[in-house]
Amino acid sequence: MPGESLSFIFLNAFLINNFVLALFLGICPFLGVSGKINTAWSMGLASAFVMLISSICAYFINEVLVAFNIEFLRLISYIAVIASAVQLVEMSMKKFSPVLFRQLGIFLPLITTNCAILGLALFQTFKEYDFTQSLSYSLGAGAGFTLAIVLMAGLREKLELAEVPSVSKGAALSLMLAGLLSLSFMGFAGLGGGH
Amino acid sequence: MSQNKTTAVTMDDFLSGIWRENPVFVMLLGMCPVLAVTNSVINALAMGLATTFVLLGSSAIISLLRHWIPKEVRIATYIVIIATFVTIIDYAIQAISLELYNALGAFIQLIVANCIILGRAEAHASRQPLLKTLTNGLGMGIGFTIALLALGSVRELLGNGSLLGHDIFGAHFEPWVVMILPPGGFFVLGAWLLLFNYIREVKKQKRLAESRAASGTTARALV
């Protein structure tokens, strides 16, 4: 909605409506790449970076689509832009920072199917954010995604040491853990006047 | 993934998606809509059917075009085809029921990023003839819908005390509100996985005990 302050938009995407734990976006990498804290950091930062870029692209594309009155092409153009943004990030990273590329390389293709990124582009369009608001929203969403995946990785590293019944090993226990994490994030719901 | 070389359509193509390779409970794919829209049965059903439609449509087109799509740009091609079908179903749901459309929100459009569909396109539709792909896609879609219903019914029953909007437990029931909130999705899916793990474990123990008993009797017969 126009008129929301930048800090509220950031906090909203970061904590109150955390993309992973409250809106259920990006669950696949959240469960798949949260085994170790290091890789979780890398995945979080790579996603946050792609979120920022695709949010900026999506903003301008939407302007063009609205100008020509062809909004029904929104979904197709967004996903095409995200896929090419990921490709672009991958190529430029390979050229300018091979060290970072080697750390993030395997995660980059995965990001294309991360629905948090497409979700971000769609939500900022639905909420009719202007350019600076979109920037703030994408930064908050990226930070929130990174926070959630790193917290989860920390919990799972501790869990490795715990003795659990063999039935509950693996995905079942991870989901229970994610539920508890999500429950604790609901405590932030009161921030910002219960929006 | 079991890739049969024969082109004949078998019952196995259809059934594998429902039980043995169930996209949600076994392969853990497409979790976002599974958790997000299953706070009631009707949402779960609508989401399952929409996904099945996109899965069938996109698999059919990809299977028909599989000899013409260049290998280098196949993922981009698949995504554009999938996005086309998602746009169709998005506008269709908007036309059929605006209430449902608002309840599902952005998750209809997010079917594009559902890894089940892209995974099917890559692993199955791009290699198999039309009929086989459709059978397999239908099985996967039904398996996905069943999983969504399994979550949706438990969450609606516990979180709201109702099923498909009908009161089940009567007025004295105190709803577990947490079940229709985000954490409930994680809890219920975790519980279902626990149950399936338990069943698998019990079956394994049983088979182990049987084989042990069988080898025991042969040993005794030899003595």
- pLDDT tens digits for B154-205? 888 888 777 777 777 777 777 787 888 888 888 898 888 888 888 888 888 8
Residue with tokens 């399994």: B150
CA distance A6 to chain B (A): 23
pLDDT tens digit sequence for B80-96 = 899 999 999 999 999 98
Instruction: Give me the residue from B83, B110, B183 closest to A115, CB to CB.
Output: B110
Q: Distance, in angstroms, between B135 CA and closest chain A CA?
A: 25
pLDDT > 60? residue B5: no
Q: How confident is the model at residue A1 (pLDDT cuts 50, 70, 90)?
A: low
Mean pLDDT of chain B: 83
- A100 neighbors A71 (Cβ within 8 angstroms): no
State the nearest Cα–Cα gap between A132 and chain B, in angstroms. Answer: 22
Query: Would an 8 Å CB–CB cutoff place B142 in contact with chain A?
Result: no
Per-position DSSP letters for A24-90, written without gaps between them: --SHHHHHHS-SSHHHHHHHHHHHHHHHHHHHHHHHHHHHHHHHHT-GGGHHHHHHHHHHHHHHHHH
The 10s digit of each residue's pLDDT in A30-83 is 887 777 888 888 888 888 888 898 899 999 999 999 888 888 888 888 888 888
pLDDT at residue B57 greater than cutoff 90: yes
Do B193 and A175 make contact, defined as CB atoms within 8 angstroms? yes
Burial B58-80 (b: 16+ CB within 10 A, else e): bbbbbbeebeeeeeeeebbbbbb
Whole-number percent of chain B with pLDDT over 90: 12
Residue B58 confidence class, pLDDT cut points 50, 70, 90: very high
Interchain contact A175–B (C-beta under 8 A):
yes
Q: What is the pLDDT of residue A111?
A: 76
ipTM of the complex: 0.81
**Contact of A189 with B181, CB cutoff 8 Å:** no
B162 pairs with which residues across the strands?
Answer: B167
Write down the domain spans for chain B: 12-179
Tens of pLDDT, residue by residue over B88-130, are 999 999 998 888 888 887 888 888 888 788 888 888 888 888 8
Contact: A172, B197; criterion CB under 8 Å: yes
**DSSP class per residue in chain B:** -------S--HHHHHHHHTTT-TTTTT---HHHHHHSTTSHHHHHHHHHHHHHHHHHHHHHHHHTTTTS-GGGHHHHHHHHHHHHHHHHHHHHHHH-HHHHHHHGGGTGGGGG-HHHHHHIIIIITTS-HHHHHHHHHHHHHHHHHHHHHHHHHHHHHHHSEETTEESS-TT----GGGTSHHHHHHHHHHHHHHHHHHHHHHHHHHHHHHHHHHHHHHHHH-
Contact B194 A172 (CB under 8 A): yes
**Residue ranges per domain, chain A?**
6-194
